Amino acid sequence: MTVYFFLFLIFLVAGFTQGVTGFGFGLLAIPLLSLFVDIKTAVPLCSLLGILITAFLSLRLRKHIDRRKILPLLFGCIPGVAVGTLVLKKAPTELLSVLMGLMLIAYTLYRMTGKQQPRFIHPRWAYAAGFFTGAISSAFSAGGPPTIIYATLRDWNKDEIKATLSGVFLAGGLTVITAHALTGLTTGLVLHYFLLAAPVVIAGVFIGSVLYDRIDTGAYLKLLHYLLLAMGILMIWKGV
């Protein structure tokens, strides 16, 4: 029972985080879950729960979902997955994790400490962001940051950012859980944990979404930057 308590606590906190920001569930949950369950159980479990979360958030933000924002990211993601599988996996996963962590820390410190005005980047950068999201995801399952950075550099409000992230992660997550099912990773134990955890995760996401409704775009972007900084530190820790 003690193990279940910690599992539910992890799911509640990770669900709350994604409810507020639109991302971060897997990155927070998987390292902590691996302390209690096998990583081959933790990864497909988080993928299933991630679909539940992104479907909930996409439905909640459906008025702000714009296919013109999402499709370029997805088009870039598909070849990125293929290239990442063939190329990035040949490099040491630990090195890639450290490099990504350093990039995230450098980017967020620049954005948080600089006095520059918000920048606008061309929509064509969506293909590059999607490509690196797919490539990094296929290498070590942490491909969200390129899409998040792209979204924060566009002239979008918080609803547009969160809706785009949710739509991209929903579509990408469907591909992942299909692959897990076809390769036998989605076991009976995974489904057992999923059924138990689903209500806790939805509760966390709902509470996080309530807090999200109370913050403005400026505060939301600051929160994203703090979480990106934490993600960078976690990725360096994971790599080391």
In sequence order, the 6+-apart residues with CB closer than 8 A to the CB of 127 are 72, 73, 75, 76
pLDDT digits (tens, 9 = 90+) for 60-90: 888 888 888 888 998 888 787 777 656 555 6
Instruction: Give the pLDDT confidence score for residue 11 in this predicted structure.
Output: 93
* Distance separating alpha carbons of residues 112 and 106, to the nearest angstrom: 10
pLDDT classification of 40: cutoffs 50, 70, 90: confident
pLDDT digits (tens, 9 = 90+) for 120-173: 677 888 999 888 877 776 655 556 778 888 888 887 888 888 888 888 888 877
pLDDT digits (tens, 9 = 90+) for 110-131: 777 755 555 667 788 899 988 8
> Which has the higher per-residue pLDDT, 92 or 78?
78
* Distance separating alpha carbons of residues 8 and 16, to the nearest angstrom: 12
Containing H/E element for 5? helix 2-21
DSSP string, 131-185: HHHHHHHHHHS--HHHHHHHHHTSS--HHHHHHHHHHHHHHHHHHHHHHHHHTT-
Instruction: Give the pLDDT confidence score for residue 200 in this predicted structure.
Output: 95
Q: What's the total number of domains in the chain?
A: 1
pLDDT at 228 over 90: no
Measured N-to-C along each axis, helices 39-60 and 25-33 cross at an angle, to the nearest 10 degrees, of 160
Residues recorded for the chain: 240
Do the Cβ atoms of 148 and 6 come closer than 8 Å? no
Range of the domain at 146: 2-239
Instruction: Give the pLDDT confidence score for residue 84 in this predicted structure.
Output: 64
